[in-house]
Amino acid sequence: ALAAVIRTQAACILSQVHLEHFFDPSQHHSARNEMEILHRTSVFRLDRVVIFENEVWILDYKRNYLDSEHAAYQAQLSGYRVAAAMVFGGKTLKSALITVDGRLIELE
Contacts of 26 (CB under 8 A, 6+ apart): none
Amino acid 108: pLDDT: 81
Q: What is the pLDDT of residue 48?
A: 97
How many angstroms separate the CA atoms of 48 and 16, rounded?
16
| Predicted TM-score (pTM) of this structure | 0.91
Q: What does the pLDDT read at residue 64? A: 87
Side-chain half-sphere of 105: how many Cα atoms within 13 Å?
Answer: 20
pLDDT tens by residue, 20-78: 999 999 999 999 999 999 988 889 999 999 999 999 999 999 998 988 999 999 999 99
Residue 39 pLDDT: 85
Q: State the DSSP code for 42.
A: E
Q: How confident is the model at residue 82 (pLDDT cuts 50, 70, 90)?
A: very high
